[in-house]
Amino acid sequence: MAGKDDVKVLGVVVSPFAIRVRIALNMKGVSYEYMEEDLTNKSELLLSSNPIHKKVPVLIHGGKPICESLVIVQYVDEVFPGAAVLPSDPYDRAVARFWAAYVDDKMFPPMVAFLLAVTEEERAAKAEETLAAMAQLEKAFGECSGGKPFFGGDSIGYVDLALGSNLQWLETSYQMFGVALLDAVKTPLLTAWAKRFVEADAAKGVVPDTALAVEFCKKLRAR
């Protein structure tokens, strides 16, 4: 099993992309060194490890950098023994990849735009777009979970990591603007799922307190 000297994660504590990588490593029981980055003063290690995008997260395994969160999660799943992240069935694996991409392409961008919107009109439009994406994910959970606790079935899987890593930001929307993007009436399945996700052993200590996300969001808005 890889030790901390072999595995490093460069990230930001509130970044959903870094969070999903850290939870995946926890699922595998991999010991790693977490290195917090200041995105206003990026380290030489980050810049040299991800010279194309210069973004977190970066996984450094045995001195070799791997970039882009979903790529990293797939790498972790393939390289380290332990609980499977992606399904073994090719069709189920393709479906999981589809919905994980949906989270990043259709849910995350309008959610961020909502949090950073300057006008009420823009915020309302982005809230509607995010809520529409959440409604689709509510349906997807019903289909993918098969009545089990997670998208991945009995335990956290690929889609769980993709969406669950955003929970602190979904809660921030309510804390800052009173808009519930995750709602017990409109998305009851996801609301119950979210509670299970943050209570899972692999997620404990990784999913940050909402207060940290609120503080980070306020700094972004101030810029």
* CATH code for position 181: 1.20.1050.10
How high is the mean pLDDT in each 10-residue block of the chain (223 residues)?
77 98 97 96 98 98 97 97 96 98 98 97 98 98 97 97 98 96 96 98 96 96 92
- Which pLDDT value is given to residue 49? 98
Per-residue pLDDT of 145-186, as tens digits, reads 999 999 999 999 999 999 999 999 999 999 999 999 999 999
User: 55 and 111 share a domain?
Assistant: no
- For residue 25, the domain's CATH number is 3.40.30.10
| Residue-level pLDDT at 223 | 87
**96: domain range?**
90-222
pLDDT 10s digits, 75-88: 999 999 999 999 99
Q: How far apart are CA 171 and CA 204, in angstroms?
A: 17
Specify the pLDDT at position 143.
Answer: 96
Residue located via tokens 């259709």: 106
**Residue given tokens 């694996």 in the structure block:** 93
Q: What is the domain count for the chain?
A: 2
Would you state the pLDDT for residue 121?
Answer: 98
Structural domain includes residue 84? no
The whole-number pLDDT of residue 3 equals 59
**Structure confidence at residue 35 (pLDDT):** 98
